[in-house]
Amino acid sequence: MNGSERTAAISLSKVQDVAPGLVDLYKTAGARIRHHGLEGLRAAVYLVLDRSGSMRPYYKDGTVQHLAEQVLSLAAHFDDDGAVPVVFFSTDVDGVTTLELGGHEGRIEKLHQGLGHMGRTNYHWAMDAVIDHYLGSGSRAPALVVFQTDGGPTSRPAAERFLCKAARLPLFWQFVGFGDPDDNEFAFLRKLDDLAVPGRRVVDNAGFFHAGRDPRAVDDQLLYDRLLGEFPVWLAAAREARILR
C-alpha cells in the first residue's frame, strides 16, 4: 500500500469489496493526488453533468458514465462517505442525485433516461444547485466541483455572475469540455478561467480543460492531472483570503 492509499478517506480494501471495477481508477487517482501534494486532504467532490440535446450521444455510448466513475474514484480519496452529489442540468436543473460506490454501474444512463426532455444549456442554475447543496450540508471543507459541458451557456452573463459570487465560498469549479476543441462555444469557458482577480472575483476559483471529441480516449492519469492541476493553487489562495480556515 502506498502513502496515498494509507491517507485516503476510503481504503483500497473497501473499494475492492464494494466496487472492484473501480480499483484501477482508484489507484491511478491516488498516485496523481500524491503527485500534486494533496494526500490526506479532506474535501467534498461534486459532479455536474450537461443534459443539453447535443449531449445525447455521450450518454448513449457510456462516455458520461465513464467520467462519473473517474470522479467517484477520485472522491473516494477525499471524502469518506463514498458518495458524489450529482447535478444534471440543461435549460434548468433536470435532477439532483447521489452516485455511490457499489451502486454506480450503469447508474448515470438510467438516471438520464428518467429525466425527460433535454433542453438548452444554462450553467447558472446548476451552479446555484451546487451552492445550495454545499451551504445546506454545513461543511467547512473545500469542495472540488467537476462541471462537464459540451458548449457555452445560453445566459453567459448569469454564469459569469454566479462564478464571481461563488468565489467567496470554498468551491473550486473545474470545467471539462466535451466535443470539438475548435468550437467557438468553448471561448466562454476560457474566459471564465481567466476572469480578473481581484477585479472580478476575490480568488481564481475556476479551471478549464478540453477532453476532446472522444473523452474516453483521454488517459486516466492525464484526466486526473487536469482535474487536480489548479486545485492546490486555489487551496492556497483560498486559505490566504480566509475563505478556507
Within a domain: 189: yes
Amino acid 3: pLDDT: 47
In a domain, 245, yes or no: no
- Quick one: residue 61, left, alpha or beta (phi over 0 = left, psi -120 to 50 = alpha)? alpha
Locate 189 and state its grid cell: 469557458
240 assigned to some structural domain: no
Distances (CA, A) of 30 to 33, 54, 88, 204, 237: 5, 33, 27, 25, 23
pLDDT of 1: 47
pLDDT along the chain (245 residues), means of 10: 68 96 98 97 97 96 97 97 96 96 93 94 97 95 97 93 96 96 83 93 96 96 98 98 94
Does residue 242 sit within a domain? no
CA angle, 3 then 42 then 83, to 5°:
105
Provide the domain count of the chain. Answer: 1
Burial of 136 (C-beta count, 10 Å sphere; 0-12/13-18/19+): exposed
User: For the whole model, what pTM was predicted?
Assistant: 0.95
Q: Half-sphere exposure (CA, 13 Å, Cβ side) for 52?
A: 17
**Would you say residue 184 lies in a domain?**
yes
Domain CATH for 88: 3.40.50.410
pLDDT tens digits for 9-20? 999 999 999 999
Q: For the chain, what is the mean pLDDT?
A: 94
> Is there a domain that residue 237 lies in?
no
Q: Which amino acid is at 94?
A: D
Residue-range definition of the domain harbouring residue 222:
3-230
- Longest distance between any two alpha carbons in the chain, whole Å: 49
Q: What is the pLDDT of residues 30-52, one digit of tens each?
A: 999 999 999 999 999 999 999 99
Secondary structure (DSSP) of 5-63? HHT-SS-HHHHHHH-GGGHHHHHHHHHHHHHTT-TT---EEEEEEE-SGGGHHHHHTTH
CA distance 21 to 19: 5
- Other C-beta atoms lying within 10 Å of the C-beta of residue 9: 17
In a domain, residue 89? The reply is yes
Q: Is there a domain that residue 238 lies in?
A: no
